[in-house]
Structure formats: C-alpha cells, structure tokens
C-alpha cells in the first residue's frame, strides 16, 4: 500500500493511462496535470489548461489514448496527443449548469457527461462535420447526475443522481453502432429508454420502511454487466441483479456515507467514502444478500505502551474517555474523505490492484493480494468467513 | 363513540384519528404497568406513523415512545437495544433525535443513555440515516 501525497489540495478527479505509467488529475483548480511515474517518484510532464472552471471529471481512454475532461464551465474537451503536446477539442454539451462526471464508453466511440442540468449528454464524433455531437437523455431525471458507468455492451449506461435514484439508460446511437443484442436488463433499447430504476420504495432487502434514500454517489456495473452496485448518502450500499426486476439487496452500513464503489470480482466490491478507508462488501447471489467484508485499511498495530495516571486524567478532561490511545489523528492512510476509486490491474473481474484518491491530495495504490493476507490475520472478521473466503478465492490468479 | 343513540355527538368524531395506520394505544399502557417493558418497546416501535401527514398523530406517537424509553432502567437499556433488528435501531435513533428536539426536565438524560447504546449498535450510519430520511417519524 503505497501512499503518495501529490498536493495539499483535494484531488477532484483522476484517471490512468493504459499501461498505468501516467496519471491525469485535477488539483482542485481549472487545470489538469499529468504526472509520469519515474521509479518511486512522480514527475509532472504536462499541464492541460483550457477549462474556465474547476475540472470535475477526467477519463483517459486506454486504446485510443484520448482524454476527455469536463468542468464547471459547462464544457467538455477531448484531448489528443499530437507529438509531445495535448491538443484540446471543444465539445458543446448544450447544458446550462456544471458538468459533474464523464466516462468513455468501452469501445471509446462515445462518452457520457452527467451534469447539474438534470440530464446526461451522450457525445459521439460525426465524421462528415468533423466535430463532436451530443444527444441528451432528460426524462425522468429530476436532479443532478452524480455518477456514471457504462455496461460492457457499449449501449447501456448506469447513472446515479441526486433525486435518490439509480437508473440504467440505453445510450444507443444508431450512427455509430449496430443494434445491441438483448441483455438481462431488457431487449428493447431505443435511445433514452429507462431499463431499470431503483427507488426508495423498490428496496426489498434493507431499509424496509421505504422512507429512506439519499443521493446516489457512486455506481458500478460488474464485469459481466449483470450486476449493478450503487452507494447512497444514507450510508447504504445496494446491488441489483438485472432480469429479476425487484431483486435489490441493500445493506445499511455502520459507516459514514460511501462516495465511490467498484466491483473487484463478480461477487465482491470495494467502496470508500467519508470514513477515509476502503471497505470490502461481499454479495451472495444465491441468497441475494450483501454483507460487510471488512475494513481494508489495516493500520500497523503499534505497541501498546502503558498510560500514566496523569495522561488518563488529561484524556478524561479533553476527550471524556480515559482510553489508551493517545492517537490524535486518523489511523487510516488517507487523512480525508476518499472521493474516487479506480481499478488498476486485473479489470473488474479479477482486480489485483486498485487506487484511491481523496480530499487530502493523496493517492494510495492498494494491492489486493497483500490485503488478503492481512485480512486473514485480522480477528475483526465478524462475518461468516465462508462467503469471505469464496470472495477471496475469486481473486486468486491461477 | 357514543352509546346513546339519541345524541349527535358522534358526528363530531374525526374518523381519521382512528385510522389503522397508527400504533395502538391501549396495549402499551397495560404493558408498562405490568413491567414488561421489552414488549412495550417492540409494540411502540411497530407501525411508526411515517406516512401520515397528521402532526397530532406523530406527536402522540413520540410522547408514547418517550414514556416507554424513560420507564426503562439504565441497566436494561443495552439488552433492549440488542433485541432490536437493524431497522428497529434506525427507527429508535429517529425517535431519540425527535425527543432531543423538545427537551423536558429528565428526558435528555435518558435519551442520551439510549443514544449511546443505539450508537454502539447502529454505528454512525444510523445517525446518517436519521439525517437523510425524507419521511420523518
């Protein structure tokens, strides 16, 4: 687990290139900085200055090596590397509020931008006019779209929004692709069709009183595209399986709300948020239940030195507990909320490394294998180790 | 409900007050007297008036919950909280915070005791759910 502190400012968003040697990130201002890995150090090699507002989303297309960025100035730019310089192309999104998140589709022929104008812009390149055109998905989104994730078939798009719902839309553009085959989410997929919508009343597993719901911060399709996970501001994480309409399993967690989520195998996901450490969740398909797998940030056990009577009273005075730890700060690697998780190696089916960035300006790469061994030693595993073992077994690389 | 068939008083009864959406008053009074507080707690947390817009109902429910909570001995609170499931703990948190809004002489102390136990059972997440809930108790 390597922690690298890039800056003191929060990292708004980041994206890696194909071979994971370069990272593009936004240091909470109008630019995008690209850093290159040099041994153990990171050197800034490019600065992309074009936006007039904070850059809220960056995505780096691995195959075509293009970067798309979107910002609060209501614009998106597609950057291509010409020689040693990145050249921007403006994409007119026709939105009147800030753009919030952007994502390339798996085949990289289109990208989606979620914005505060309560719509999603799907942009594709039109060859005749040599520019990017966008189409809008408006209904039935009622508030800002916070997060997006594409289904592997390049047509379906999951969107989490501030109107407390997570939806799957069809973003089928007939100009750039053929009709997709049927999937578990549905077979008729005209542009803008809603194939799935979660609602507070649709939750069958967890929050039974149906009166809950919070902004949906992060969404993620599994590798096969059959499962969709989302995290919400009411500290819940939910998974829906396509096809069986009301199979939504959710777990009300005991932590602060989670901001980002990613599948690391077909049955387990990693999520992180305001609690500053990543958490593992395990999904049992047969029982349709989500269970908490464990905290993934295992701080080294410092030797417990005895606490003097004076310190005990001081603690009582300052913190109303005479506890042993004189730890003032957080024990986790990240010292502030984690805002984004990205899978580095192994894809979403057998992830072996993933990376998190947060509001403390730091980036941590987590190695799943070493976490596995650390977790096995942990005596905090209070859940049925059976499901955890099966989840961890998926991760073993043959 | 009048037994005197000559009287027209029944026309003044507000039928909505007796809607089944609400908890049942009677069983609780009986239970607390007998001392079976655990069941009183379960009963009072069943059918919370979340969906009604009638403020009266919500106030009555809250007063009843408060009565049951204060009737518990401090040592029994922990056991009572353990007997609730996740949804119950969330609901209990909602009532605790509702109770904090209108403090009376002794209520805050008992509520704080309950809060501490409910927090250890539900974690910070249950408090977040109180804050983000759109239909309050």
B1-21 pLDDT, tens digit per residue, is: 656 677 777 777 776 666 655
Question: Is residue B43 less than 8 Å (CB to CB) from chain A?
Answer: no
ipTM: 0.74
Q: What is the pLDDT of residue A105?
A: 94
| pLDDT 10s digits, B28-69 | 444 444 457 777 788 778 777 777 777 787 888 888 888 888
> Considering chain B, what is the average pLDDT of its residues?
77
Q: What is the pLDDT of residue B79?
A: 85
Question: Is residue B91 less than 8 Å (CB to CB) from chain A?
Answer: yes
pLDDT, greater one: B26 or A336: A336
Nearest chain B alpha carbon to A236: B125
Q: Report d(CA B104, CA A186) in Å as an integer.
A: 56
Max Cα-Cα span within chain A:
80
Nearest chain A alpha carbon to B87: A207
Mean pLDDT by 10 residues, chain A (398 residues): 84 92 91 89 90 94 93 93 92 93 93 94 90 91 93 93 91 88 86 83 37 80 90 89 71 86 89 89 81 74 64 77 57 87 87 90 86 57 44 55
Q: What is the pLDDT of residue A394?
A: 64
The encoded tokens of residue B41 equal 């707690």
Cβ contacts (< 8 Å) between A236 and chain B: which residues?
125, 129
CA distance to partner chain A, nearest, from residue B44 (Å): 15
Cβ-defined contact of B128 to A200 (cutoff 8 Å): no
DSSP string, A331-354: SSS-SS-EEEEEEEESTTTS--EE
Cβ contacts (< 8 Å) between B50 and chain A: which residues?
209, 211
Q: Report d(CA A269, CA A261) in Å as an integer.
A: 7
CA distance to partner chain A, nearest, from residue B95 (Å): 14
The encoded tokens of residue B95 equal 């009532």
Cβ-defined contact of B86 to A252 (cutoff 8 Å): yes
Cβ-defined contact of B125 to A255 (cutoff 8 Å): yes
| Mutation site, B49, B61, B133, interface A, largest A CB count within 10 A | B133
CA-based nearest residue to A249, from A294, A295, A208, A209: A208
Q: Report d(CA A94, CA A78) in Å as an integer.
A: 16
Q: Is the dihedral of CA A50, A361, A351, A155 positive or negative?
A: negative
Cβ contacts (< 8 Å) between B21 and chain A: which residues?
none
CA distance to partner chain B, nearest, from residue A112 (Å): 28
Q: Measure CA of the first residue to CA of the last residue in chain A; give whole Å.
A: 23
């Amino acid at each position: 687990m390597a922690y690298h502190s890039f800056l003191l400012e929060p990292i708004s968003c980041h994206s890696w290139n194909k071979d994971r040697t370069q990272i593009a990130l936004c240091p909470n201002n109008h630019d995008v900085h690209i850093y290159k890995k040099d041994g153990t150090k990171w050197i800034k090699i490019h600065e992309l200055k074009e936006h007039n507002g904070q850059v809220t989303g960056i995505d780096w297309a691995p195959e075509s090596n293009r970067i798309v960025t979107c910002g609060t100035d209501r614009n998106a730019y597609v950057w291509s590397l010409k020689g040693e310089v990145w050249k921007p192309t403006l994409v007119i999104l026709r939105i009147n509020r800030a753009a919030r998140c952007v994502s390339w589709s798996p085949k990289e022929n289109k990208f989606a931008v979620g914005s505060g104008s309560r719509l999603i812009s799907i942009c594709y390149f039109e060859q005749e006019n040599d520019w990017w055109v966008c189409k809008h998905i408006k209904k039935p989104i009622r508030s800002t779209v916070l997060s997006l994730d594409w289904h592997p078939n390049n047509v379906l798009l999951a969107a989490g929004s501030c109107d407390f719902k997570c939806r799957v839309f069809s973003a089928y553009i007939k100009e750039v692709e053929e009709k997709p085959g049927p999937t578990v989410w549905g077979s008729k997929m005209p542009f803008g069709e809603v194939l799935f919508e979660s609602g507070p009343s649709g939750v069958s597993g967890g929050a039974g009183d149906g009166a809950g719901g919070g902004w949906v911060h992060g969404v993620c399709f599994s590798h096969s595209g059959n499962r969709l996970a989302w995290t919400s501001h009411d500290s819940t994480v939910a998974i829906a399986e396509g096809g069986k309409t009301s199979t939504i399993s959710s777990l009300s967690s005991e932590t602060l709300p989670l901001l980002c989520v990613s599948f690391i195998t077909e049955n387990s996901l990693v999520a992180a948020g305001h609690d500053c450490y990543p958490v593992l969740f395990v999904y049992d398909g047969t029982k349709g239940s989500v269970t908490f797998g464990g905290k993934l940030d295992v701080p080294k056990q410092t030797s417990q030195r005895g606490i003097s009577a004076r310190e005990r009273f001081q603690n009582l005075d300052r913190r109303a507990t005479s506890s042993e730890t004189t730890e003032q700060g957080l024990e986790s690697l990240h010292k502030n909320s984690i805002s984004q998780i990205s899978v580095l190696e192994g894809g979403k089916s057998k992830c072996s490394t993933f990376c998190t960035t947060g509001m403390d300006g730091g980036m941590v790469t987590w190695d799943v294998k070493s976490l596995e061994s650390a977790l096995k030693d942990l005596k905090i595993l209070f859940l049925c180790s059976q499901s955890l073992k099966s989840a961890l077994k998926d991760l073993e690389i043959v | 409900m009048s037994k005197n068939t000559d009287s027209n008083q029944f026309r003044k009864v507000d039928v909505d007050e007796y809607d089944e959406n609400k908890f049942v008053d009677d069983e609780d009074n009986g239970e607390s007297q007998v001392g079976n507080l655990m069941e009183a707690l379960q009963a009072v947390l069943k059918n919370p008036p979340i969906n009604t817009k009638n403020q009266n109902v919500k106030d009555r429910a809250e007063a009843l919950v408060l009565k049951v909570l204060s009737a518990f001995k401090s040592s029994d609170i922990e056991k009572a909280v353990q007997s609730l499931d996740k949804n119950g703990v969330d609901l209990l948190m909602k009532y605790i915070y509702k109770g904090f809004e209108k403090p009376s002489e002794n209520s805050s102390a008992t509520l704080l005791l309950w809060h501490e136990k409910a927090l250890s059972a539900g974690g910070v997440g249950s408090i977040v759910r109180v804050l983000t809930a759109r239909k309050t108790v």
